[in-house]
Amino acid sequence: MGAESLADVVCMMNLSEAHRLQKDYEINDGKTIGRGIYESAEGMLSVVQTWWPGTSDDISDVLSGVQSAEKINFDEYLPPEVK
């Protein structure tokens, strides 16, 4: 959820099913506003609907105390052909 591509959200094994679910839940204009795909630890996919009643500024205020995640570089653990 919140990514440009489902490939960034679900495992490759579930990618085809995630695209099918996303297509099934598009609204009339082809958008999936407020909808996303959740993948459980067991690999089960679910479509979720989210809604925030406030403005972007409101949610920024609510989340202001949450620390940003530190990006981890896994390059040293990847085989050379993947880098």
Per-residue pLDDT tens over the stretch 29-54: 666 677 788 899 999 999 888 877 77
- Which pTM does this prediction carry? 0.52
- Distance CA(45)–CA(60), nearest Å, equals 28
Whole-number pLDDT of residue 42: 93
Whole-number pLDDT of residue 57: 84
Q: Are 7 and 1 in contact (CB under 8 A)?
A: no
Whole-number pLDDT of residue 67: 86
H helices, E strands: number in the chain? 2, 2
